[in-house]
Amino acid sequence: METPAKIELQHVHFAYEDHEVLHDINLRIPPNQIFVLFGPAGSGKSTLLRLLNRLTDFSPEETHLQGKVLLDGQDIFAPDVDVTRLRQRAGMVFAKPVPLPLSIRDNITYGLTLGGRRDRSTLDETVERSLHAAALWDEVKDRLDDPGMALSGGQQQRLCLARTLALQPEVVLLDEPTSGLDPISTLQVEEALFQLRESVTFIVVPHSVQQAARVADRAAFLLMGELVEEGPADVLFTRPKDKRTEDYVTGRFG
């Protein structure tokens, strides 16, 4: 029997005003692995990612959604859904690292204290655990009270990952998390993902096909708002079924 999907999209159509960005997407994302969404610019992958924890609600334009997005079988767009709780369960790391204008420590505990947690020892534990998980602890353990913005770009991005992990999310959405980073920082972030994939479902929009092939357990190829092909990474990147996927992964367009 098939494992139940962590996230499932059923016939999803999504549009900004009258411009359709996603067309009839059907997708099952299994739990606890790294799932990669890739495709050329404008294929709708970032929008799809934002849909999964409803950051699309923030769009200044009018949006239209058809179909269902399910997390553990529950419709996340149902009227009785607690959106803040949903966003804690499905955290997000953005392309450009955005440390809050707070200290390193307070950046990480921010999400927890929003929920009213004040207990110092739990918070300290969380800070250490999250920074370890994001492979940042050794670099910042002596200056947790420095402003988060004082860190380098690569450190900032791992800080943002740690901030997301602090909430112990079941799903983490990463939108080109290494696009602004040097190769060494990029490997550090990727390494952090590998360490955690036993317990977290990662959905990654990579910044290159190479990165997609490097990190993916499973992957999906999107083209102009349509899902072209989905499957295990070794199949998709070596023996794709669809001609368009093959052209793209071999670098013939994109």
Binding interface with another protein (CB under 8 A) = 53, 55, 58-61, 82, 84-85, 87-89, 91-92, 94-96, 98, 100-102, 110-111, 114-117, 147, 149-150, 160, 163-164, 167-168, 170
**Which distant-in-sequence residues (6+ apart) come within 8 Å of 180 by Cβ?**
95, 96, 97, 153, 157
DSSP secondary structure string for all residues of 25-75: EEEEE-SSSEEEEE-STTSSHHHHHHHTTTGGGG-SS-EEEEEEEEETTEE
Least Å distance, CB 240 to another protein, is 29
- Which CB, 60 or 251, lies closer to another protein? 60
Least Å distance, CB 60 to another protein, is 3
Q: Which amino acid is at 58?
A: F
Least Å distance, CB 214 to another protein, is 24
Interatomic CA distance for residues 151 and 67, integer angstroms = 42
The two tokens of residue 169 are 């999310």
DSSP secondary structure letter of residue 103: B
Do residues 134 and 156 touch, judged by C-beta distance below 8 A?
A: no
- Which CB, 168 or 195, lies closer to another protein? 168
- Which CB, 60 or 183, lies closer to another protein? 60
Residue 230 Cα to chain centre, angstroms: 17
Residue that the structure tokens 């204008």 belong to: 101
Least Å distance, CB 229 to another protein, is 27
Least Å distance, CB 108 to another protein, is 10
Residue that the structure tokens 């972030």 belong to: 189
Least Å distance, CB 114 to another protein, is 5
- Which CB, 173 or 219, lies closer to another protein? 173
Count of C-beta atoms within a 10 Å radius of residue 35: 25
Residue that the structure tokens 């070794």 belong to: 234
- Which CB, 46 or 188, lies closer to another protein? 46
- Which CB, 52 or 209, lies closer to another protein? 52
Least Å distance, CB 168 to another protein, is 7
- Which CB, 136 or 233, lies closer to another protein? 136
Q: Which residues pair with 184 in a beta bridge?
A: none
